[in-house]
Amino acid sequence: MWPKITMLALVAGLLPLGAFAQSNDAGGGPPPDVAAKLDAARTDAKTASLAALGDDHRAKAQAIVDAFDATGSTLTIAAASSQIDAVLDKDESQAVLEQEQKMRDAMRAAFADSGGPPGGGNGGRGGGRGGFGGRRHAPDAGRFLLSVDATQDRYREAMRAERGP
């Protein structure tokens, strides 16, 4: 009798882990519903951020992002970000940073709604890998615009290069 009870308790304890693992079959990312919410938050932040810029500044920022994205570009995240920051006025920078915060809040909510940790995947500590609670850099409108407007593969590649081996 005890072996059966022990086995049932073990299976009951592992069921939530199995369900989460099934939702992550495609590559270890978040479940599809959470991924959709994260993508929507990013898209909304990009759209609102670009809408907050004047036409001339939007065109100049887009030209910098295009140069960053260009095949063979050696433009670093820091260089592209500072170029974008130089284009933006104070009000535009503030509006972009507000959109960054809205996106972070939406991402935290998406993880919390799915039953995940409130910090976005790292036990609520914020900051570290997978979390949306902290920052590795001071708030930077140019860097945020680059992160949401650049090709994600190119941006990730530049992030890896920035971190070093």
Instruction: Tell me the H-state helices in the chain.
Output: 2-23, 32-51, 55-69, 77-87, 90-113, 141-149, 152-163
Instruction: Please name the residue that has the structure tokens 């929507």.
Output: 40
Instruction: Report pLDDT for 29.
Output: 80
- Report d(CA 83, CA 143) in Å as an integer: 10
Residue with the bigger pLDDT between 57 and 163: it is 57
Confidence class for position 111, pLDDT limits 50, 70, 90:
confident
DSSP string, 77-118: HHHHHHHHHHH--HHHHHHHHHHHHHHHHHHHHHHHHTTS-T
Confidence of residue 142 (pLDDT cuts 50, 70, 90): very high
pLDDT at 31 over 60: yes
What pTM value is reported for the model? 0.71
Do residues 80 and 142 make contact, with C-beta atoms less than 8 angstroms apart? yes
**Percentage, residues of the chain above pLDDT 90:** 58
- 5-9, 13-17, 97-101: which has the highest mean pLDDT? 97-101
- The tokens describing 18, both together, are 């199995």
Residues 60 and 79: their CA atoms lie apart, in Å, by 14
**What is the per-residue pLDDT across 51-98, written as a single tens digit (0 to 9) for each?**
999 999 999 999 999 999 999 999 999 999 999 999 999 999 999 999
Between 45 and 24, the more confident residue is 45
Q: Give, in order, the Cα–Cα distances in Å from 90 to each of 19, 94, 148.
A: 47, 6, 20
Rounded Cα gap, residues 139 and 135, in angstroms: 8
**Average pLDDT of the chain, as a whole number:** 80
Give the mean model confidence (pLDDT) for residues 99-116: 88
Exposure letters 1-35 (e unless 16+ CB within 10 A, then b): eeeeeeeeeeeeeeeeeeeeeebeeeeeebbeebe
Give the domain ranges of the chain: 77-112+139-165
Q: How far apart are CA 35 and CA 33, in angstroms?
A: 5
